[in-house]
Amino acid sequence: MTADAAEGKWRPQSETEREQVRQQLGKLLVSPSFASSQRYPNLLRFVVEQTLAGQEDTLKERLLGIEVFRRAPDYDTNQDPVVRLSAAEVRKRLALYYQHPDHHNELVIALNPGSYVPFFRPAGVGSAQPQPDLHEPTPGTQPAKAVLSRPWWIYVAASILVVVVALGLGVHFFSRRSVTEQFWSPFLAAPGRVTLCVGTPDTMTPASQSSPPPTVNDEILRSGRLGISNVTTLIHLGGALDNSHKAFQLELASQVGYRELHQGPVILIGALDNPWTMRLTEQLRYGFAKNEDSMYIVDHRNPSARNWAVSLTQSPSSQSGDFAIIARYHDNTLGQPVVLVAGLSSKGTEAAGDVLSDPEFLKALFKDAPRAWDTVNFEAVVRTQVVEGYPGTSRLIAVEYW
């Protein structure tokens, strides 16, 4: 066994050591973090096996798109970032797995940000997933301070957020004055603590129900837990807060009032499950509406149009697309800057969180914006593909600046 003295990483040299890695891979693939998915286990299994076979030099985005996701050899990786999005999700799910105390002494399989090559660490040697205390800052750092006073799954979401941010995942703020940093700077410069106002499922189904929801509407209204799409979006947006050392608090949309939201900048996550989103978008050009069969984004300048809609009666597994609104503006009702991240269904909300951490998408979003785009108000409508129940490629279809 060859160990890296500084980090405890090692490269399996014998078949016995390679088998140890495969056994750990098996544990990961049957864990709740991976068992409910097809896309993420396939990617993790492929990169681990290629590395064990000494083929890590082949682990490039295009090859993974072709071999794992069955894309055409000449597919456009910029238009179809399935590999990048899936790898980011694999990293988050690995962080979630190793965060649990029961797994602290297991052999570690992890992916460094920006790489598709996994690294391994023997059982009991260090930890691949740093777990900074939520209240005491790690020496030499100034992490954001989260005020957590809500149900247990808010604690879970915050823990996931802190762990993933500590690993360098989420929003990429590492380059000086990047387009992502320019996007967030006026929002984060506003005084006061940021409130992440998260959509709350209605109480229509028992929390213990584990069977798949029969319709998109049932999926949206699931109760008893914070949806993975909202957790994913929290992770993306939390990176901006952590890197700016901006204090934040998590609040349920159904339980937070005007007084709390009036005290500082606000991030609204979710649409149908977030009454504040539904209320505040009534004053914007684009908002949300619902009838018995569908939910749709309404253009208040052309309210009869139904071009951007999702059927609420279809099965989630048959959903092929979703729509979302992303916005950054000064809200007159709250008197505060607001960032809105909301899809018609959970797929759109997750995709909206993804695009706000994608520098290329942000460049396209502000390509035709007025001067000083980083300070203007904007609202945009985004369409995302849904492939095998997961959000895929997103594209901008409408934008308003003011």
**Does residue 137 sit within a domain?**
no
**Lowest-pLDDT range of 214-223, 244-253, 293-302, 392-401:** 214-223
The stretch 72-78 carries a mean pLDDT of 87
- Residue 79 is encoded by which pair of tokens? 């238009």
Q: Are 82 and 69 in contact (CB under 8 A)?
A: yes
pLDDT tens digits for 267-293? 999 898 899 999 999 999 999 998 888
Phi/psi at 5 (5° precision) = -60, -30
Strand pairing class (294-299; 286-290):
antiparallel
174 and 265 belong to one structural domain: yes
Overall domain count for the chain: 2
Same domain, 295 and 251: yes
- How much is the pLDDT for 226? 44
Residues 73 and 178 in one domain: no
80 found inside a domain: yes
User: What digits encode the pLDDT tens for the residues 116-152?
Assistant: 999 998 887 654 443 333 333 333 334 444 444 445 4
- Assess if residue 132 is contained within a domain: no
Average pLDDT score over the chain: 77
Is 41 in the same domain as 85? yes
Predicted local confidence at residue 261, as pLDDT? 93
The two tokens of residue 393 are: 């490629």
Domain boundary among 105, 121, 137: 121
Q: Are residues 164 and 228 in the same domain?
A: yes
Gap between the Cα atoms of 299 and 223, Å rounded: 30
Amino acid letter for position 212: P
Task: Judge if 77 and 151 occupy the same domain.
Answer: no
Rg (CA), the chain: 21
pLDDT at 27 over 70: yes
Domain range for 375? 146-401
**280/155 same-domain check:** yes
SS3 352: helix
pLDDT reported for residue 43: 94
Whether residues 344 and 391 share a domain: the answer is yes
The verdict on residue 28 lying in a domain is yes
Instruction: For residues 31 and 377, give the distance between their C-alpha atoms in angstroms, rounded to a whole number.
Output: 43
Residues shown for the chain: 402
Per-residue pLDDT reduced to its tens digit, 83-117: 988 898 899 889 888 888 888 889 999 988 778 99
Residue 260 domain flag: yes
Q: How far apart are CA 74 and CA 54, in angstroms?
A: 26
pLDDT at residue 146, rounded to an integer: 42
The enclosing H or E element of 91 equals helix 82-99
pLDDT grade, residue 343 (50/70/90)? Answer: very high
CB 108 within 8 A of CB 3: no
Q: Is the pLDDT of residue 159 over 60?
A: no
Does a structural domain hold residue 136?
A: no
Specify the DSSP class assigned to residue 295. Answer: E
Least-confidence region, from 118-132, 314-328, 341-355: 118-132
Q: Which pTM was predicted?
A: 0.55
Q: Both 91 and 173 in a single domain?
A: no
Helix (H) / strand (E) element for 164: namely helix 152-166
CB atoms under 10 Å from CB of 230, counted, come to 26
- 342-374 b/e with 16+ CB inside 10 Å = b? bbbbbbbbbbbbbbbbbbebbeebbeeeeeebb
pLDDT of res. 273: 84
Q: Domain for residue 292, yes or no? A: yes
Query: Does residue 134 form part of some domain?
Result: no
CA 96 to centroid of chain Cα atoms = 13
pLDDT higher at 44 or 216 = 44
- Whether residues 317 and 177 share a domain: the answer is yes
105 and 236 housed in the same domain: no
Task: Note whether 139 and 115 are within 8 A (CB).
Answer: no
**Is residue 284 located within the same domain as residue 336?**
yes
pLDDT at 340 over 90: yes
pLDDT value of position 104: 86
Task: Tell me which of 373 and 163 has the higher pLDDT.
Answer: 373
Angle (deg, nearest 10), helices 179-189 and 228-243: 80
